[in-house]
Amino acid sequence: MATVHVNGQAVDIGTEKLNLIEAADRGGVFIPHYCWHPALTVVASCRMCLVEVGDTQPDGSVKMQPRVVPACQTPAKDGTVVVTNSERAKYAQAQTLESLLINHPLDCPVCDKAGECQLQDYTHKFGRAESRMIDEKFAPPNKPNIGAQIELFTDRCIMCTRCVRFTREISGTAELLVNHRGEHAEIDIFPGQPCDNKLAGNVVDLCPVGALCSKDFLYKQRVWYLKSHDSVCADCSTGCSVHVDENKDILYRLRPRENPLAQGHFMCDEGRFGFHYVNSKERILRPQLRRDGKLIPATWEDVLPALRRDIAQAVKQDGSAVVAVLSPFLTCEEGYLLARYFKSLSGEVRLALGPVPTVGEDDTYPKDRHGKPVEPVKFTIRAEKCPNRRGVEEVLRHFQGEVIGFDDVVRLSGEGRLKAVYAAAGYPPRPGGWVSAEQAAALAKTPLLVVQDILPSPASALAKYVVPAVSFAEKEGTFVNHAGLAQGLRRAVKPPAECHTDGQVFLDLMERRGLVHAPTIRAELARDVPFFAPLASGTIDALGVMLK
């Protein structure tokens, strides 16, 4: 057992290998740092974490080192003494900040990072209020083409090299480098080789100042207007924990949320920039029903009873000819409600899993310079481009013991053997779409085709009823990722005015009163389906719960 003394307070760090920043953090003392990041190697170049350090001698006396040392580079040992609030340590921090600000342009009003900038925050907490710099600042030109999604504001850079180390250690693609030396040092790329790897967006989050900015978010909002919600990325089965940032119910950006159980510190660009369909103008905004061969907008008051009647009629004719398709984009709660609704009509109703979009192979990082994956794997972009196949499959297995594939539904429908198909889709728009024109034509041979989706598709064009679905950012629920980690979705934005959440539609179909409340339904799900038993309390904390 090792004990570290942080500002006179004893902190037990057990047997873990920590540096002094982490050890002090355990004691509730924050040591400012720029270049150090828990997922990257230590370079101790920014000098922001300078502290006074000493060792406890065998006789119990403390011997302090004669100078301040970087906390990120100093391992915490038994008896290490850290002092961050002495005059000398404070002076070192203020001096470091002043030196970092020598060439910083202080264009905070037009900088996209302002409000979440560590240079601002630390200057406020640890620095001095006024600049003594009177000479002209060194202002190298911006590099707008450093990557397809990122722009470098060269003059704001403080040379912490987090971005350079990220491309070398995590993505392994090593596009970024430090060019020139001393005051003239700049982040740069090799000529004609922009930073376009699939994890490139992370350098924007890593950048502690406003040097690297995301072109997607640039000048869209000031960050102090944004409200952040903890959620889960819905773009692949890794299920990265994310912050969903919105203002006035418009989604502006996704940022990775550190979660060692899910993905670590980062997220991929497909997920990060793939949310724009949530704000799309093309969305299905209200329920529609087919009358005289044409889809016409209708109200929920008209559609829900008609839908209930038509489904009940189809089930009465032949229960086994009614199929509900549950997409892997549904939350576990929604899948459970829909399965319960159909199974309550008749035990013969078949439940199928919607198409599981798969693109290529699992893409692991880091890569070597030939693009081949290198062990140990630090980040994986899964080939399975849906967040909740496992969760929906477990629900299906519980209700009917087996999982019927979407292809079987299309085949049966094409042969004209089905009476009704309820496709709860909710797919985001991705190349190829979830249903091809041929598959849609085959589905349309079923007399009662209900399509619940976010955006129009070939299937919704041929459906008898079209019901709006909502995206991951607009609903609450649980996603189970590839490894069986159940994570909670939180509602970040309101769905468009006339859209009801999928869970609410299913509740209304069941004629169960009240509004959908994810924790309640989660508790019911945990009670009924043994796989979800660890969720019995109904609540899921920020990191999620590992199921089996």
Q: How far is the CB of 131 from another protein (least distance, A)?
A: 11
> Considering the complex, what minimum distance in angstroms separates the CB of residue 162 from another protein?
22
User: Which of 107, 407, 408, 438 touches another protein by CB under 8 A?
Assistant: 107
Minimum gap (Å) between residue 101 Cβ and another protein: 12
Least distance from another protein to the Cβ atom of residue 105, Å: 4
Smallest separation (angstroms) from another protein to the CB of 214: 13
Nearer to another protein, 107 or 408 (CB): 107
Instruction: Give the residue from 522, 521, 477, 466 showing the smallest Cα distance to 499.
Output: 466
- Both tokens of 264, joined, read 């670590």
Residues 6+ apart with CB under 8 A from 286: 297, 298, 299, 468, 498, 499
Residues 86-105 interacting with another protein (rule: CB under 8 A) = 105
Of 280, 225, 264, 275, the C-alpha closest to 247 is: 225
Q: Which is nearer to another protein, 104 or 385 (CB)?
A: 104
Rounded to the nearest whole angstrom, what is the least distance from the CB of residue 212 to another protein in the complex?
14
We find the least distance from the C-beta atom of residue 112 to another protein, in angstroms, to be 9
- Structural contact between residues 241 and 263, judged by C-beta atoms closer than 8 angstroms: yes
* Residue 252 binds another protein (CB under 8 A): no
494 makes contact with another protein (CB under 8 A): no
* Interface with another protein, residue 402, by CB under 8 A: no
Nearest to 349 by CA among 402, 400, 413: 400
CA 329 to chain centre: 15
Q: Is 329 in the site for another protein (CB under 8 A)?
A: no
The 142-161 site mask, x for binding another protein (CB under 8 A), equals -----------x-x------
What's the min distance (Å) between Cβ of 276 and another protein?
18
- Which residue in 37, 41, 7 sits closest to 24, CA to CA? 7
Return the range that interacts with another protein (CB under 8 A); candidates 179-187, 218-226, 311-319, 515-523: 218-226
Residue 27, classified by CB atoms within 10 Å of its CB into exposed (0-12), middle (13-18) or buried (19+), is middle
Residue placing its CB nearer to another protein in the complex, 133 or 377: 133
Out of 62, 64, 110, 133, the only residue in the binding site for another protein (CB under 8 A) is 110
User: Using DSSP, how many helices (H) and how many strands (E) does the chain show?
Assistant: 14, 25
219 binds another protein (CB under 8 A): yes
Encoded one letter per residue, x for contact with another protein by CB under 8 A and - for no contact, window 221-240 reads -x-xx---------------
How far apart (Å, rounded) are the C-alpha atoms in residues 211 and 191? 20
Q: What is the chain's length? A: 548
Contact 242/267 with Cβ under 8 angstroms?
yes
From 26-34, 91-99, 135-143, 326-334, span contacting another protein (CB under 8 A): 135-143
106 near another protein, judged by CB under 8 A? yes
The least distance separating another protein from the CB of residue 163, rounded to whole angstroms, comes to 20
Residue 214 near residue 149, CB atoms below 8 Å: yes
Nearer to another protein, 138 or 190 (CB): 138
Contact status: 137 vs another protein (CB under 8 A): yes
Q: Which stretch binds another protein (CB under 8 A): 216-224, 255-263, 347-355, 498-506?
A: 216-224
Q: Which residues of 64-100 are buried (b: 16+ CB within 10 A; e: fewer)?
A: eeeebbbbbebebeebbbbbbeeeebeebbeebbbeb
Residue 354 · residue 335 · CB < 8 Å: no
Q: Measure the CA–CA gap between 438 and 429, rounded to whole angstroms.
A: 18
Cβ-based nearer residue to another protein, 213 or 381: 213
Which of residues 64, 102, 139, 542 is near another protein by CB under 8 A? 139
Burial class (CB in 10 A: 0-12, 13-18, 19+), 397: middle
Our CB check for another protein shows the closer of 1 and 129 to be 129
Q: Can you tell me the distance from the alpha carbon of 530 to that of 219, in angstroms, rounded to the nearest whole number?
A: 48
Minimum Å gap between C-beta 114 and another protein is 8
Q: Are strands 477-480 and 485-489 parallel, antiparallel or unpaired?
A: antiparallel
3-state secondary structure of 19: strand
- The answer to the question of residue 248 lying near another protein (CB under 8 A) is no
By CB under 8 A, is residue 67 in contact with another protein? no
The footprint of another protein on this chain (CB under 8 A) covers a number of residues equal to: 17
**Residue that the structure tokens 């849609």 belong to:** 440
In 293-393, the DSSP E strands lie at 294-297, 322-326, 350-353, 363-365, 379-381
- In the complex with another protein, the residue whose CB is nearer, 64 or 133, is 133
Q: Which of 58, 60, 109, 191 binds another protein (CB under 8 A)?
A: 109
Would you say 109 or 371 has its CB closer to another protein? 109
Residues that bind another protein (CB under 8 A): 105-107, 109-111, 136-137, 139, 153, 155, 218-220, 222, 224-225
